[in-house]
Amino acid sequence: VQLVETGGGLVQPGGSLRLSCVASGFTLSDYWMHWVRQAPGQGLVWVSRINEDGIVSNYADSVKGRFTISRDNAKNTVYLQINSLRAGDTAMYYCVRDLRDYNYWGQGTLVTVSS
C-alpha cells in the first residue's frame, strides 16, 4: 500500500494549488479518502473526504467554498484543489485512506503560503 502526495510548494496569498495523491497497492475505488492537514508545530486538522465513487464529499467549515476534493479512480488519484490561499493554510497536507480499520497515511506534501 502506498499513497504519494505531490503538488505542494510555495505560493503567494490568493493563489491556487492542486494537490494530487496517487494510490497504489490497493483498489482505490473501494475506499473513502480524506485530506488532513497539519500546520508547523500544530495538531492534525481534518479537511475533507470523498466517497468511493466521488459522488459524496464533505468539508471542514474552515475550508468550505475554497477547497474542492475530487478523484479519478481510473488514474488511482485523489485531488485537492485549493483556492484563495491564506497564510493560515500553510501546512503539511496528508492524503489518508479511511479513518477507521483500513487507515493508511501518505507522507504528506508541504504547502507554504507566503509573499
Partner 1 sequence: QSALTQPASVSGSPGQSITISCTGTSSDIGTYNFVSWFQQHPGKAPKLLVYDVNYRPSGVSNRFSGSKSGNMASLTISGLQAEDEADYYCNSFTTANTHVFGGGTRLTVL
User: Contact positions toward partner 1, by CB under 8 A?
Assistant: 34, 36, 43-46, 49, 58-62, 94, 99-101, 103, 105-108
Min separation Cβ 53 and partner 1, Å: 16
Between residues 29 and 103, which has the closer beta carbon with respect to partner 1? Answer: 103
Residues 6+ apart with CB under 8 A from 102: 31
Between residues 40 and 74, which has the closer beta carbon with respect to partner 1? Answer: 40
